[in-house]
Amino acid sequence: MVSANVTLRTISLGSQDATTGWRSIGYGANTVKAIRVSRGASFRYENIGVYAREDAAFLIQDPIHVYDQIYTADLRYYQVRTVQKHTLLDSHFFYETQCSELPQGTAAPGSATWKTSPSDPRSRVKAWIDANVRDAQILKDDGVTQASWECMFANPPYPLELEFRGLSNVDGFYLVGFLTSSTPLMDPATKAPYGYRERLPITISTVDSEGVTGTMLNWRMEAELRYVFENYPTGSLLSSGSTRGRPVHLGSTTLYETEVPMDYRRDTVT
């Protein structure tokens, strides 16, 4: 095994997009020495063809974190999945990382102007939540202190852990998912759709943090979402379905999730 120069790209989050709620992604770049050890490869067939990637371990002395990227001299990008620190007696020796190749390299979303007529269903729901959820009801365990919460599109292009524990230290999220169904409402006279009946999930995600019990905050946020459904159902004829809760164990961190399916009717223009 021979060490070689690689580019270590350290992930950081920037400002929020007004439509999605996602933060912009930035990477710092630093040239360091590392040893790459192949861990095999995998592939699968998709609609776009074959998706193939190589898994590798990198041994590196410099500080490195999960979700960072490594760019090698043979033009390959890897994302860091795990980091294990090795010591020799009382001294730091090196970090061992498990990495997966990124076939599309540095591709990451930037700023965008979202279509507004008709608007993305997720943006309509996010605007409805942002406008009607009462901050004074999203509280920490003491029932007095404001808890930090955000609403964003689900599946951001970075791990949500960076929001819970990183720059913003958010206590809870309303995550607006993709449409699960969209049924046209037909005009019997014109035989054309005059609107759509659509369904999408709203997922409430919380974690335990200082002064916050995740399950308690999750219920406060669900109760407030129920309030919004009950008091602001008009505009798109909004209604909720049967809720479903579950804990997700992420190592030593437990993510508390409650999914609320949302039904609404919209016209074809807005």
Mean pLDDT of the chain: 88
Q: Cβ contacts of residue 219 below 8 Å, gap of 6+?
A: none
CATH placement of domain 121-267: 3.30.70
CB atoms within 10 A of CB 124: 20
The reported pTM is: 0.85
> Which comes out higher in pLDDT, residue 241 or 50?
50
* Per-residue pLDDT reduced to its tens digit, 139-177: 999 999 999 999 999 999 888 888 887 667 899 999 999
Place of tokens 């943006």: 123
The domain segmentation of the chain, as residue ranges, is 4-101, 121-267
* Per-residue pLDDT reduced to its tens digit, 3-21: 899 999 999 888 888 889 9
* CATH fit for domain 4-101, picks 2.40.10.370, 3.40.1800.10, 1.10.3720.10, 3.40.1160.10: 2.40.10.370
Spatial separation of the C-alpha atoms in residues 121 and 125, rounded to whole Å: 6
